[in-house]
Structures are given as structure tokens and as C-alpha cells.
Structure 1
Amino acid sequence: MNYRHSFHAGNSADVVKHCLLIRLVRALQQKPGALTLIDTHAGCGLYDLGGEEAQRTGEAAHGVLRAFADASPLLDDYRAAVQAVNVGPEPHLYPGSPRILAQLLRPQDALILNEKHPQDAQALRAAMRGTQAAVHERDAYELWLALLPTRTPRGLVVVDPPYEQTDERARITAALAAAHRKWAHGVTLIWFPLKDRGTHLRWTEQLRRLGIPKFLAVEHWLYDADQPDLYNGAGLFIINPPYAFTQALPPVLAALRSALAPYGHQGTITASWLHD
């Protein structure tokens, strides 16, 4: 599956990912100690929802625009993060994870971004001008391991690849195993698309066999039954999520499911432990 950020900016997967990312960072920030935030596949940082690539898929209409039309206060922080890069009531620009993370930084925190695609890296540098982010243009998996353990006692690594390569899941699995050996207490968030349950279940079992404790899986299935050859949803693997995050998660997931369910479907969004 090829999942370039620019084609899918503001879709349902982005709403879930960014809503939970905001909550995860804020839960970590309940302690005053400095955080290092690392985004291994940062993309362009900021996306034009009226641009050719986003318009070609039209997915924002089923994601961020649905979230903006929803009344749940549990989505307020997400809407505020999107609104921060826009003028007017309706979003025309969409902030990627780098811009959202930059909004969350405290003076003591650090933000490290990486994007290997040359054109996207150039756009990322432009989008992050004026922030305190450091931008790299390296292989994501090499950078992930090279920066661990983080210079600060605590940190978060966000792994959000486009899944263009057939070995992407295998590379994530190997890198995660190595990262855990170097940084067992660190927090890691891995985004993934859901196309069919068989592929996802096989990968989940491979990850389970790594034996990493405190391994949370969030799965958002859009439809009541799998739609062949279609994007069926997305999810997050979160290693070492703080208690404040997991405790508050159930009502947030219920609000996201309700806001994003396609017409004629209820959909499901669940959180379960691979290992606790």
C-alpha cells in the first residue's frame, strides 16, 4: 500500500492519529521533565486541502471536516490544533504531525524531524521555519536507532511511514526490537493502515512475539465488514503509553468512532494490549 501523506491529508486516519498524539504528548507533559519528540517520517509538515493531491482523493471530507462538524468536546483539542494553522471557521490547510508537535512544545522540550524524500524534506523545512525543530534528511530507520536513547530522560518516537515498500512492516519490526533493547522505557507510536485483517493479524502476531511489555494496539475499522481492495481504516501501536493517557482513552475512542463512521456503517475502534 502506497500512503503518501499529501494524498491523504486530513482523512479519518489523520483525525484519529493526531487526536491521540495530542493526548499522548499532553499526558507525558504532566511531568515537568524535558521531552525529546522524534518524527521519523515527517512528510511535508503542512498540506493544502484544496491542492491537487488532496483533491484527487477528497478524503478530508470524511475526516477533518467530519470532526469539525461534530459536537463532542473530546475533539476540541484536535480541532484547536488544526484551527491554529487556518484563518476562518473551515480548515483549508492541514497540519501534519510536525506542526502539531511544534504547537505542543514547552521551552524544555526538543523536536527532531526526519524526511528522506527530497521534495518533501524541502517543503518540511519551509513549513517548520520559525519553530525550534531540527530537520534531518536521512533513512528513517537508521535515524530512529541512532537517536536512542534520547538526550533527555524521556521521549516519544513517532513512526508514520507511507508503506510504499513491501518490507516496511518487517523493517519496523526489526527496528522496534533494536530500539527496545536500547531504550526499553521509551514511548513509541507506530501508525499503520488497515487494508485486510489477515495481513494485519500476521503482523500483530510477529510484534507480539517480540515480547515487549506495555504494548497497546488501537484499531479503527471504518466499515462493518472489510471492503475488498479498499482502505478499511488505520490504527496505532503505542509502546509504554502513560497511565493518564490509557485511563482517559475509552470515551475519546467512542467520540472518534461516532464522528468518523461512514454513512450506513457504525465501524469499530478498539484498544487492546498485546502485552501489558
Structure 2
Amino acid sequence: MNYRHSFHAGNSADVVKHSLLIALVQALQQKQGALTLIDTHAGCGLYDLDGEDAQRTGESAQGVLRALADPNPLLRDYRAAVQAVNVGPQLHSYPGSPRILAQLLRPQDFLILNEKHPQDASTLRRAMRDTSAAVHERDAYELWLAMLPPRTARGVVVVDPPYEQPDERERITATLAVAHRKWAHGVTVIWYPLKDRTTHWRWKDQLRKLGIPKMLGVEHWLYDGDQPGVYNGAGLYIINPPYAFTQALPPLLEALRTVLAPEGHRGEITTD
């Protein structure tokens, strides 16, 4: 499954992913200690919703545009992050995880970004030139391990690949196993698309066999029943989620489910 960021900017998966990422970092920032934020598959950083890629799919209409129109205060921080990269009421740009993480940085925090695709890496550097982020152009899995443990005691690694390669899940599983041995208390966020439940359950079983004690799964299924052969939603695995984050999660997930449910479907967001 090819999931290049530029084709899907601002879709329902982005709304869930970025809403939870904001809540997660804010929960960690309740303590004053510095954080290192690492994005292994950073993409372009900022996306043109009027551009050819985004217009080809039009997925933002069922994602970010719905969230911006919804007054639920639980989505306020997400809406603010999107509005920060736009001028005026019209939505033209969408912030990827790098721009959202940059907005959350405190003076004591660090942001490390990586994008292997040369064209996207060049675009990423331009998108982040007004920030303090360090930008790398390396193999994501090599960088993931090379940066651990980070210079600060606490931090977050965001793993958000396009799933272009058939062995992507196997590489994530193998790298996570090593990463956890190097930095057992670190927070890791792994994003993945949901296409069919059987494939996902098989991978979930492989991850559970790693024996990582604190691993939270969040799954957002768009439809009441699987739609064969198409994108059905997305999920996140979060290693070592902070207590403040997990306590605030249920009402946030319900707000997201409500605003993103396709017409004629209730949708479902589950945790385990």
C-alpha cells in the first residue's frame, strides 16, 4: 500500500494522528524537563491543499475541513495548529507532523527530522527553515537507532512511513525491538494504515510477541464494516504513553469519531 503524504494531506488519518500527537507532547510537557522529538519519515513538512496531489484525492474534505468546522473544544489545539500555517479563513496549507511538532517546541526542546526521499527532503528543509529543527536525509530505520538514546532523558520518536515496501511492517518490528532495548523508557509513536483486519491482526500479534510492557493501540475504523481492497482507516501504536495522555484520551477519541464518521456510518475508534 503506497501512502505518500502529499496525496493524503489533511485526511481523516491526519486529523487523528495529529490530534493525538499534540495531546501526547503536551502531556509530556507537563514536566519541565527537555524533550527530544524525532520524526523518522518526516515527508515535506507542509502541504499545498490546492496542489495537484492533494486535489487528486480530495481527502481533506472528509478530514481537516470537518474538524475545522466542528466547535468541539477538545479539537481546539488541533484546529489552532492548522490555522497557524494559513492566513485568513480559507484553508490552503496543511502542516505535516514536522510543522506541528515545531509549533509545540519549548526553548529546552529539540526537534530532529528525517526524510530519505531527495525531493521531499529538499522541500522539508525549505518548510522548516524558520525553525530550529535539524533535518537529515538518511534511511529512516538506521536514523531511528542512531539517535537513541537521545541527548535528553525524555523524548518521542514518530514513525510514519508510506508503506510502499512490502516488508515495511517487518522492518518496523525488528527496529522497534532493538530501539526498545536501547531506550526502554522512551515514547514511540508508530502510525499505520488499516486496509484489512486479518493483515493487521497478524502484525499486531508480531508486535505483542516483542514483550514490550507498555504498548497502547489506537485504531480508527471509518466504516461499520470493512470495505474490501480500500483504505478503511488508520491506527497508532504508542509505546510508553504518559499517564496524563491516557487519562484524557477517551473523550478526545469520541470527539474524533463523531466528527470524522462518514455519512451513513457510525465509525469506530478503539484502544487496547
- Shorter-chain TM range is over 0.9
Who is 1:224 aligned against?
224
Is 1:138 aligned to 2:138, yes or no? yes
- Tell me the CA shift for residue 90 of structure 1: 3.0
Note the C-alpha offset of 1:130.
Answer: 1.3
CA distance in 1, matches of 2:69, 2:265: 18
- Residue equivalent to 2:194: 194
1:134 positional shift: 0.2
Q: What does residue 167 of structure 2 align with?
A: 167
Deviations 1:130-166 (A, max 9, x none): 1000000000000000000011000100000000000
Q: Deviations over 1:103-155 (max 9, x none)?
A: 00000000000000000000000000110000000000000000000110001
What's the secondary structure of 1:230's corresponding residue? coil
TM-score, normalised to structure 2, is 0.99
The residue aligned with 2:256 is 256
Residue 199 of structure 2 aligns to a residue in which SS? helix
Distance 1:89 1:239 in 2: 37
Please state how far the C-alpha of 1:198 moved relative to its aligned partner.
Answer: 0.3
- Where do 5+ consecutive residues of structure 2 fail to align? none
Q: Does 2:15 match 1:12? A: no
Structure 1 SS opposite 2:205: helix
Specify the alignment match of 2:58 in structure 1: 58
1:31 aligns with 2:31: yes
Q: For residues 53 and 246 of structure 1, what CA distance do their matches in structure 2 show?
A: 35
What is the DSSP-based 3-state SS (H/G/I as helix, E as strand, rest coil) of the residue aligned with 2:111? strand
Secondary structure of 1:14's partner?
helix
The reply to whether residue 101 of structure 1 matches residue 110 of structure 2 is no
- What is the CA–CA distance in structure 2 between the aligned matches of 1:6 and 1:167, rounded to whole Å? 22
Partner in structure 1 of residue 246 of structure 2: 246
CA distance in 2, matches of 1:89, 1:265: 29
Q: Where has structure 1 moved over 2 Å in runs of 4 or more?
A: none
Report how many residues are paired: 272
What amino acid is aligned across from residue 76 of structure 1 in structure 2? R
User: Which ranges in structure 1 are unaligned for 5 or more consecutive residues?
Assistant: none
1:92 Cα offset (Å): 1.1
Displacement of 1:204 after TM fit?
Answer: 0.2
Query: What's the CA shift for 1:189?
Result: 0.2
Partner of 2:43, secondary structure, is: coil
TM-score, L = length of structure 1: 0.98
2: CA distance, partners of 1:245 / 1:271: 13
Identity of matched residues, %: 81
Matched, 1:149 2:141: no
Measure, in 1, the Cα distance between the counterparts of 2:119 and 2:198.
34
Alignment correspondent of 1:209: 209
Give the whole-Å Cα distance in 2 for the aligned partners of 1:16 and 1:195: 17
